[in-house]
Structure 1
Amino acid sequence: MHLSIFDHNIEKHCFSLERPLMNTNKIIVGSEEWCALPQLNVPAIKARVDSGAKTSSIHAVNITPFKKEGAPWVKFEVHPLQNDGKTTIHCEAPLVGKRKVKSSSGHMESRYVVRSILSIAEDTWEIDLTLTNRDSMGYRMLLGRQAMSGKMLVDPEASFQLGEPSSDILFQHYQTHIKSPSGLKIGLLASNPDLYSNRRIIEAGEERGHEMEFLNLKDCYIKLDGENPEMHYRDGRVLNDFDAIIPRIRPSMTFYGCALTRHFEAMGVYTLNTAAAITQSRDKLHSLQLLINAGLPIPTTGFANSPLNTSDLIQMVGGAPLIVKLLEGTQGKGVVLAETTKAAESLINAFKSLKANILVQEFVKEANGKDIRCFVIDGKVVESIMRTAAPGEFRANIHMGGTASLTKITAEERRIALKAAKTMNLKVAGVDIIRGQSSPLLLEVNSSPGLEGIEGASERDIAGMMIKAIEKDLKYKGVE
C-alpha cells in the first residue's frame, strides 16, 4: 500500500522521494525528516531523528484515557505543525501502556504509550509512541532508536534527505483541521512577535481554543474620554473586543507600555499583570523598599546622590568586592562587579557624573555565580531552575552564555518567592534568589519573566499555565 506523505497528484509541487540506498538496503535519513502517521490521521509531521533517544514521542495535549468495547484506549489532540496551535488533529488509539521516560533535561515523566504505523520514504512499519507535551521542543515528534532499528541509517550532518513538503501541500493536508477560535479573545501586548516567550504564549492560547492576537505596543494609541475611552491600533482600528491582555513590556517601553495597560484596565479589560504592579517592579529601588518592608531578606544595598558619600556608601555594603546596578538595567545589563575599593570608587563616581541612578549592593561570594529563578503563577511556584553563569562571568544569565537546569527549592525559598510575588501584586513573576552563607536572599522580582530557559529546562508548558490563570480569573470553562 502506497502511503506517501505528499500529494503526488499536484504536479507543480512534486519532487523526488526516491529512497537513498546502501548495500544494507536501509533508509538513509538526516537529523530531521518529514514522515506520516496514517493510523492517527497525521499526513505530515517533521520529526527530530535522534539515535541517542530510546523512545519515540509525539506532541499531544488533552490526553484522556477511556474504554472502548472494554479495552483501554486513549484520545488526544496533536498539533502537528511547529508554532501553530490552530491546526488540530483529534486522535484515538489503543493504549499499549504507560512508561516512565527520562527527558534530555533529566526530568522523569510517566507517559501513555500508543502504537501506530510510521510512513517514511514510501515504506511503513509499526512503532511505539509516547504522548507528551513537546511545546517547548523544536520538533513536534521525536524518532528514537527503537523505531529506527533495522530500518534506518542516520547521517547526523544532513537534513531532509527524503525531501520537504511545500507550504501549499501542508495547507492542502491540514486546511480542514484548522480550529476556529471558540474561547476568549486575548491580546499579547509586547514589542517583538518573534521572541520565544511571545510565540509560545500565542501558541498556548490557540491550543486552548482562544483567539490570540499580537499587539505591538508601538502601534497602540489612546483616546482619553470620560464617557467613551478607546484604544486605537494602526490606522484607526478600535480595540474594543478583548477579554484579556497579557502585557509583556520591554524595560525601554515601561512608561508607554504601562500607560496602555492602565488604559485597557480603565476600559474593563482583564490584564494578567496590572500596570501598577509592573511599574513598581521596574523601579528597582522602590521594589526593594517594598520587599524589605514586607520582611523579605535582600543583600545589603545602598543608594546615594552625592559623590562626597562614595566612601561611606562602599563601607555601608561591606566594602569591595561589590555590585553596582543601574536602576534602569535589566537581564543583567547595567550590572557591574567592582572587585576593589579603588575600582568601586571610580565606577560609582563615573556613573554619578553621568547623572545615572545606581544601587550599590553587597557581593554574595557564596552564590558562586549561581541564582535560582522561581516562576510564580497565580500564587504558586510552578517551576524552579538553577542558573549558572558562563565562565568568567559573575551574572547567572542565560542571555549571556549561562546555563539553566532544574532545581529543588527549600521551603524557605518557596516562601520568599510567593511572598515576593504577592508583595509586588504580580499574578505572574520571575523571582530571583541567591543562596547566601546562612540563608537565601532575594535579588529581584521580574514582571515579564522569559519562558525559554524555564521551559527548556523543565520541558513543561509554562505558557499554557499562564493561559489557564486567565481562564480561572475570568471563570472560563471551555477547556478541561
Structure 2
Amino acid sequence: MTNKIIVGSEEWCSLPGLGIKAVKARVDSGAATSSIHAINITTFKRNGSTWVSYEVHPIQGSRKVTLLCESKLIDRRVIKSSNGETERRYVIREQLQLGDQSWDVDLTLTNRASMGFRMLLGREAMGQRILVDPSVNYNFGDYTEDEINLLYGNKNMPSTGLKIGLLASNPNLYSNRRIMEAGLQRGHEMFFYNIQQCYMKLDASEPEVHYRDGRILNDLDAVIPRIRPSMTFYGCALTRHFESLGVMALNNSEAITQSRDKLFSLQLLQKNNLDIPTSGFANSPADTTDLIDMVGGAPLIVKLLEGTQGKGVVLAETRKAAESVINAFKSLKANLLVQEFIKEAQGKDLRCFVIDGKIVASIERTAAPGEFRANIHQGGTASLVQITPEEKKLAIKAAKTMGLQVAGVDIIRSSKGPLLLEINSSPGLEGIETATGIDVAGAMIDSIEKKLGWKRPLPVDTSF
C-alpha cells in the first residue's frame, strides 16, 4: 500500500504522446472506463492498422486551444454514461503522466463539452497504483489560467480574416458562443450584435446599418442571422438591409421569412412533392368537424403557427378534446394547423443539420417521459443515428426548397415512410454537437469562407 500514490477527486495530468501538457481530470472510482474529450473523430488506415484522428480542447469551457491528435485504435466499446444512455465509443491507449509517475491507460473518445471535466479517470486506469482521497484536490499541484496559457502558448490566431457579424439576441447561448469561438479559431474578426440595438438608414446614395452607439456596420463581410421568433419581422428587415449593402448573409432574409411561416413552408414542401404529415388549416370554427376528419380523426396534433421549440403544440387524444382545443384557440383568433398524429414514431424524430446542400450531422431525438414530442428544450434526449438514403435525400431537398444554406430539418419516421415536420432556419447546436462530436459551428464558418472565396493564409516560417 505504501507504493501507491494518493490522488484527490480532481487532478491535473498530462498525455505526452498527444501533446496534452495539462488537462483537468475527474477521478471517479465509480466509473470503470476512462475518457477524454474528443470531437471530429474519423478513422483511417496506417501500415495495415486502423487509427483514429480527432480534435481535443484540453482547457475546460474553452476552444481556444485545439489539438489535432492521432492514436492507434485498439477497440470499440459500448459505454453506459452517468445519465443511463449507451454509446459506442472508440478506445485508444496512451501514456498518462500524474506527478512524476506515468503508465499506459485505455481511454474512450467522446464529446465531454457539456460535462464538468475534459477527462475522466476511471478505476481500470488506476489499477493497483492509486488510492483516492475524495476530501482533497490537486495533490500534484494546481494551475492558474495564466500558467495554462503559458503552457500551451499563445493560441490566439491573428485577425487577418473576414469580418463576421452574428445577429442574435443572447450572447450567452451555447449556439452563439460556439459560432463566435469557431470564427475566432479560424482567424476571423467576430462581432456579436444584438438585433434590437441595430438600426437602419435607408438612403439611395448612402444606405447604412448603425449599432446602438452610432457605429456604422457597413464594412462587414458576412452576417449570420440567428433570429428568435418574436424578432422575425425586424430581424429579417435588418438582414435584408445588410444584403442590399452587399454583405453576405448565411441564410438570406427571404429564406428565413418563408421558413418561419409554418403554413407557407408546408405549402412549399407540398408543391415540390415532398412528403409531409396530412395537415389541415381553416379560419372558421364552423369547419372544425371536417378539419378533424381530413387528418384522420383523433388523436391529432394542434399547432399554433407562431409556436416554436415545441411550445404551442398540443396532442388531442380524443375527438372531443380536439374540438375543444381547436375552438379555444380560434376564439383567441390564433392561427393554427391540425396535423395527423404519427403514433408509430413513439415520440422520436430526426434532426438533420444541412449546410450548403450536405448533411453534416444527424441525431435522433426522444421525447421526455410523459411527452409525445421529441424536444431537447423540454427534457428530451439526443443520440447518434444512421439515417437512410431516402431520409438524407428528403432533408437536403427540403433545405433547398426553403432556400436555406443552413437548416435544421426535422423528420419523423412513419409507416408511410419519412415525413417532414419542420425546417428551422436557426437550429440549435448544443444537442447535435454534444451527441455527435461534430464541429457544426466550424462547418458554418467554413460555408462563409467558401462563399466569399476566402482561404486561410499559410503560416509564416520565422525560423531563419
2:439 to 461, 472, 478: 461
Q: Which consecutive unaligned segments of at least 5 residues does structure 1 have?
A: 1-21, 68-73
Q: Which residue of 2 aligns with 1:425?
A: 403
Q: 1:46 to 1:240 in 2, by over 3 A?
A: farther
1:335 Cα offset (Å)? 0.1
Tell me if 1:232 matches 2:210.
yes
* Whole-angstrom distance in 2 between the partners of 1:86 and 1:317: 51
Determine the C-alpha separation between the residues in 2 that align with 1:76 and 1:392: 38
The residue number in structure 2 matching 1:333 is: 311
Q: Distance in 2 between matches of 1:448 and 1:399?
A: 14
CA offsets 1:352-407 (integer angstroms, 9 cap, x no match) = 11111111111111211111111111111222211111111101111111111111
Compute the RMSD of aligned alpha carbons. 3.5
Aligned residue for 2:87, secondary structure, equals coil
Number of the residue aligned with 1:26? 5
- Give 1:81 deviation, angstroms: 2.5
Aligned to 1:202: 180
Whether 1:321 and 2:299 are equivalent positions in the alignment is yes
CA contact (8 A) 2:354 2:407 kept: yes
In 1: Cα distance, 2:168 partner to 2:206 partner: 25
- Matches of 1:239 and 1:102, distance apart in 2: 51
Specify whether residues 160 and 326 from structure 1 end up closer, same or farther in structure 2 by C-alpha distance, changes over 3 A only: farther
Match of 2:196 among 210, 218, 223: 218
**Structure 1 position 146, deviation (Å):** 5.7
Could you tell me how far apart the structure 2 residues matched to 1:210 and 1:338 are?
49
Choose from 399, 418, 423 the match for 1:440. Answer: 418
Pick which of 41-50 and 340-349 moved more: 41-50
> What residue in structure 2 maps to residue 12 of structure 1?
none
Letter in 2 for 1:242: L
What amino acid is the match of 1:125?
S
Q: Does 1:305 align with 2:296?
A: no
Q: Which residue of 1 aligns with 2:231?
A: 253
Shift of residue 110 of structure 1?
8.2
| Separation (CA, whole Å) in 2 of partners of 1:101 and 1:185 | 42
What is the distance in 2 between the residues matched to 1:303 and 1:389?
A: 26
Partner of 1:70: none
| 1:100 Cα deviation after fit | 4.8
Report if the CA contact (8 A) 1:85-1:205 is conserved: no
Q: CA deviation at 1:261?
A: 1.3
> Deviations for 1:390-441, whole angstroms, at most 9, x for unmatched residues?
1111011111111111112222211111110000011111111111122221
**Paired-residue identity, %:** 60
Shift of residue 281, structure 1, vs aligned partner? 0.5
Work out the CA distance in 1 between the residues paired with 2:443 and 2:184: 13
Show the 5 A alignment for 1:77-476.
79-87=57-65, 97-102=72-77, 106-109=87-90, 118-120=97-99, 123-127=100-104, 134=111, 136=113, 138=115, 139-143=117-121, 145=123, 147-154=125-132, 164-170=142-148, 173=151, 176-476=154-454
Distance 1:462 1:60, change over 3 A: closer
Amino acid at match of 1:200: R
- Residues matched between the structures, number: 445
Deviations for 1:85-128, whole angstroms, at most 9, x for unmatched residues?
A: 44467x89xx77444555856355587x7x556244xx342546
| 1:263-309 deviation digits (Å, cap 9, x = unpaired) | 12111111111111111101000000000000011111111111111
Query: Residue 286 and residue 156 in structure 1: after superposition, are their counterparts in 2 closer, same or farther (change >3 A)?
Result: farther
Per-residue deviation at 1:247? 1.2
TM-score, scaled relative to structure 2: 0.84
* Structure 1 range deviating more: 322-331 or 462-471: 462-471
Whether contact under 8 Å (1:56, 1:147) holds in the other structure is no
Q: Distance in 1 between matches of 2:15 and 2:249?
A: 40
Farther off after superposition, 179-188 or 167-176: 167-176
- Classify 1:330/1:164 alpha carbon distance in 2 versus 1 (closer, same or farther; 3 Å): farther
Note closer, same or farther for the CA distance 1:358–1:173 as it changes in structure 2 (3 Å cut): same
The 1:322/1:202 distance shift into structure 2, 3 A limit, reads same
Q: Greater shift after overlay, 238-247 or 419-428? A: 238-247
TM-superposed deviation, 1:132: 6.8
Q: CA deviation at 1:223?
A: 1.7
SS in 2 for 1:46: strand
Q: Secondary structure at the match of 1:349?
A: helix
CA change 1:100–1:338 in 2 (3 A) is: same
Alpha-carbon offset, residue 214 of structure 1: 2.0
Contact 1:57 1:129 in 2 (8 A): no
Q: CA distance change for structure 1 residues 416 and 41 in 2, over 3 Å: closer, same or farther?
A: closer
After TM superposition, give the deviation of residue 231 of structure 1 in Å: 1.6
Q: In 2, distance between residues paired with 1:262 and 1:156? A: 57
Deviation track 1:119-154 (CA, whole Å, cap 9, x = no partner) reads 44xx34254687979584544445455653344344
User: Counterparts of 1:271 and 1:135 in 2: how far apart (Å)?
Assistant: 31
2: CA distance, partners of 1:33 / 1:149: 17
- Structure 2, unaligned runs of 5 or more: 47-51, 80-85, 459-464
- Residues 126, 321 of structure 1: CA spacing in aligned structure 2 closer, same or farther, 3 A cutoff? same
1:97 and 1:457, CA in 2 relative to 1: closer, same or farther beyond 3 A?
Answer: closer
Inter-CA distance 77–311: structure 2 relative to 1 (3 Å threshold) = closer
Q: CA deviation at 1:311?
A: 1.3
- After alignment, is 413-422 or 140-149 more displaced? 140-149
Partner SS, residue 297 of structure 1: coil
Q: Is the 8 A contact 1:29 1:155 kept in 2?
A: yes
- Partners of 1:405 and 1:284 in 2: how far apart? 26
